[in-house]
Each structure stands twice: as structure tokens, then as C-alpha cells.
């Protein structure tokens, strides 16, 4: 199984770990005795490895599908509207097989007329690997009926536990019950247009379009829990500078620049043991000119962090949020400010290329610190087999 940031909670389990009754999102320390007794393998989050393997899976799918929408690190949607309906099952089996052969990553495939129904199919295919071979195609009405009656409302994409509790009050317990509700009821009780869209999707009417992957984000954030509490202003500034550098890197990746910087910190009193009811503060600044330069963004973020710092607090989390984002080619320069030196952008390009090839903070600004005692704990991290020469897998 895999743990969350700072080795806190359980966020991923194999079927064998699930069979032991280890709960999803449960604290690691509460399950430690059972984990040790059953020799369960435990790993810290390894984002470099996950990101690289995710890219390999997505690139494999792109070879055989003209349009792939990456939904998350482990999930995507494929547009199969041009595929004949009688070939969908064989195509899904082929895509599953070629992905596992080329990357070693086991996948499950759900195919249906809408995104919501395909999510239902994918979940059932994953839960019943023996019966479905990891592939489920929902085409005829009987298949859809069977799938929806087997899906609890809390397992529907976009519903969640809070929404499910509300639906249970209306005697709606599975996806089939929800599918048969009227649109005017959904508009009143399920958040207006969002609820109507969900009902239509369950009825096979596409309402959630495939998204253009080239769309630029309107807000970029980097937030982290600290590996251990931070008590000094210098360490807080270092952490915020490091997060600002990562946010600036994301900004350059989509060829954008930002004008507004917001920094927030989460803290407890120094001698408080209550971790889950902390206080928070935030501050923001508007830059004279939109930029993507790390040195400019990190310097302003560090200044905001210094304003937020109060002696006697135990800081447990911080974050940097960039907004008022524009394309790099559309930056409006300020008449009263010096323009960016052209070699600064070249410097950013070199730093990004080096760090991207090494999948690590090989080149950083000194403001982000050297020791980084606040850095996230990853005491049981596996090796970064695919991105580091010194961590290559050894075949014996």
C-alpha cells in the first residue's frame, strides 16, 4: 500500500491489503500492528515515479487513439466516437493489453456513451477482474440496467458521501434510482444545472464534453504539509520560496505569466497538540507586470511569508497561489518598470530543462534553503527507477 504526504494516511491498497480489512484513508499508525503482522509492503508517495509512469501510459494510449483527455495521474478519457460499436470490446481489450505490455501498469477499461456511464463501467470492471477481464462495455439497455443497479449512489462520479446521504432521504440508493428522477427535481435538489447534467449523463445523453488539453489554467497553486513543524521565520520563508519556485515552473510549462501572488500559512499555537483545528492567515500582492520568472515570484512570496509570520506559532502547512494569469506573448509591460532582461528567460529555460531531465530539484535558488528540514517526510519511498541513473532497477 501507499501512504499520503508525510506518511500520514493510507491512500492506495492492493487487493490483498483490502482483503485484510485495511481501510482507505485510515491513519497509518492506527493500522501499523496489523500491517506488520501480515507483512504488508508499505511505500511513501513517490511523485517522480508516478508522474513518469503516468506519462508513459498516456503516451501509449495516444499511439492508438487520436484524442486522449488526461483526467488525473491515473485516469483518462478516450474519444471513440469514430469507432464502430461492434468493435468497441475488442479495441478496449487491445488497449488494455498493449498498455500493460509496454508499461507494466495494469489498467481497467470502461466504455459507454457518456463520461459518467464510462466511469460506472470502469469501476465495475476494476472490482470484478475475473468476470470482466478488466474491460466492461455498456451498450444495450440490459447491460446499463445491471451496471446502474450494482452502483451505489455514493460511488457515482460527482456525488460523494455528503450528496449520497441527502439522496438516501429521497429513497434513492443506487444509480438506477437516480437515473429515473425528473430533471426538475434534479434542478431543485441536486445543485441546478449540475444535477440535471448528471441525470442526463446516466440516461446516456452526453453533457460533459472532452476537454482541450491545451487550455491554460486560470490559477496555479503549490501547497504542502511540512515534514515537521516550522517555528522560525527563516524556515517559513525557505519553504514558501521553494513552493513559489515550483508554481513558477508550472506557469512556464503552460507558457503563461502571472500578476497576482497569494501566500497562506496554517499554524497552531506552539504548545498545542490539536492538529486538525488550526488557524490560518493569508496575504496577496499584485506585481507591476505579469511574469513567470522564479526569482521575481519567489522574492515576493518570501516577503509575504515574512509578513504572515508570528513568533510563538507552530506552522504545519503553507502554500503559494498564482492568479491573474495571461499568455506570455500577451504580457502588458509597465511604462515605469524596467523590462525583464532577455537572458533571464534563457536562465529559466535551462533550469527547467535540467530539472525536468533529472526529475529533481537539481538546480534551485538559494532562497529555497539547503537543508530543508521542513521538507515532506518520505521515509519508505521506493526508488525512482525510471528517472534517476543511480536508482535504476537491478535485475538479478
What SS3 state is found at 128? Answer: coil
Q: What is the pLDDT of residues 11-29, one digit of tens each?
A: 999 889 888 888 888 888 8
Same domain as 246, residue 163: no
Give dist(CA 264, CA 304) in Å, integer: 9
| DSSP one-letter string for 76-118 | EEE--TTS-GGGHHHHHHHHHHHHHHHH-----EEE-SSHHHH
Residues 346 and 260 in one domain: yes
What pTM was computed for the model?
A: 0.80
49 inside domain = no
Let me know if residue 319 belongs to a domain.
yes
Do 195 and 224 belong to one domain?
no
**For residue range 94-147, what is the model confidence (pLDDT) as tens digits?**
999 999 999 999 999 999 999 999 999 999 999 888 888 999 999 999 999 999
Same domain, 308 and 340: yes
| Residue-range definition of the domain harbouring residue 18 | 2-43
**Is residue 193 one of the residues assigned to a domain?**
yes
**130 shares its domain with 270:** no
Q: Kindly state whether residues 285 and 254 are assigned to the same domain.
A: yes
Report yes or no on 50 lying in a domain. Answer: no
Q: Look at 297 and 344; give whichever has higher pLDDT.
A: 297
- Least Cα distance to 291 among 339, 336, 239, 349 occurs for 339
Give the chain's domain count. 3
One domain, residues 77 and 177: yes
Distance, CA of 370 to CA of 66 (rounded, Å): 45
Least confident of 52-66, 132-146, 216-230, 237-251: 216-230
Residues 333 and 244 grouped into a single domain: yes
Does 79 map to a domain?
yes
Amino acid at each position: 500500500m501507499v501512504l499520503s504526504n508525510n506518511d500520514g494516511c493510507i491512500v492506495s491498497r492492493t487487493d490483498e491489503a483490502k482483503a485484510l480489512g485495511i481501510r482507505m484513508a485510515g491513519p497509518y499508525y492506527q493500522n501499523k500492528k496489523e500491517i506488520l503482522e501480515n507483512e504488508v509492503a508499505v511505500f511513501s508517495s513517490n511523485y517522480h515515479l508516478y508522474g513518469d509512469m503516468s506519462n508513459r501510459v498516456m503516451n501509449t494510449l495516444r499511439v492508438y487513439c487520436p484524442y486522449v483527455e488526461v483526467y488525473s495521474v491515473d485516469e483518462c478519457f478516450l474519444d471513440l466516437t469514430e469507432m464502430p460499436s461492434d468493435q468497441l470490446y475488442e479495441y478496449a481489450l487491445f488497449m488494455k493489453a498493449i498498455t500493460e505490455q509496454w508499461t507494466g501498469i495494469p489498467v481497467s477499461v470502461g466504455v459507454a456513451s457518456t463520461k459518467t456511464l464510462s466511469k460506472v463501467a470502469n469501476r465495475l470492471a476494476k472490482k470484478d477482474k475475473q468476470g470482466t477481464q478488466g474491460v466492461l462495455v455498456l451498450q444495450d439497455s440490459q447491460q446499463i440496467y445491471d451496471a446502474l443497479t450494482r452502483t451505489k449512489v455514493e460511488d457515482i462520479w460527482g456525488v460523494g458521501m455528503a450528496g449520497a446521504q441527502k439522496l438516501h432521504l429521497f429513497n434513492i440508493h443506487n444509480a438506477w434510482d437516480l437515473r429515473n428522477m425528473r430533471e426538475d427535481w434534479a434542478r431543485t435538489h441536486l445543485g441546478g444545472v449540475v444535477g440535471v447534467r448528471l441525470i442526463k449523463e446516466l440516461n446516456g445523453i452526453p453533457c460533459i464534453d472532452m476537454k482541450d488539453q491545451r487550455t491554460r489554467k486560470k490559477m496555479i497553486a503549490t501547497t504542502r504539509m511540512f515534514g515537521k513543524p516550522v517555528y522560525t521565520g527563516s524556515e517559513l520563508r525557505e519553504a514558501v520560496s521553494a513552493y513559489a519556485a515550483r508554481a513558477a515552473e508550472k506557469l512556464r510549462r503552460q507558457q503563461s505569466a502571472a500578476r497576482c501572488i497569494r501566500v497562506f500559512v496554517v499554524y497552531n499555537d506552539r504548545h498545542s497538540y490539536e492538529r486538525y483545528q488550526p488557524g490560518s492567515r493569508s496575504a496577496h500582492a499584485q506585481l507591476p507586470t505579469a511574469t513567470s520568472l522564479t526569482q521575481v515570484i519567489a522574492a515576493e512570496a518570501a516577503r509575504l511569508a515574512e509578513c504572515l509570520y508570528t513568533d510563538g506559532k507552530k506552522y504545519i502547512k503553507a502554500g503559494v497561489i498564482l492568479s491573474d494569469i495571461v499568455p506570455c506573448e500577451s504580457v502588458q509591460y509597465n511604462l515605469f518598470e524596467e523590462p525583464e532582461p532577455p537572458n533571464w528567460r534563457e536562465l529559466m529555460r535551462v533550469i527547467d530543462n535540467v530539472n525536468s531531465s533529472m526529475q529533481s530539484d537539481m538546480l534551485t535558488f538559494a532562497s529555497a534553503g539547503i537543508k530543508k528540514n521542513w521538507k515532506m517526510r518520505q521515509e519508505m519511498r521506493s526508488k525512482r527507477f525510471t528517472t534517476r541513473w543511480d536508482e535504476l532497477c537491478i535485475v538479478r
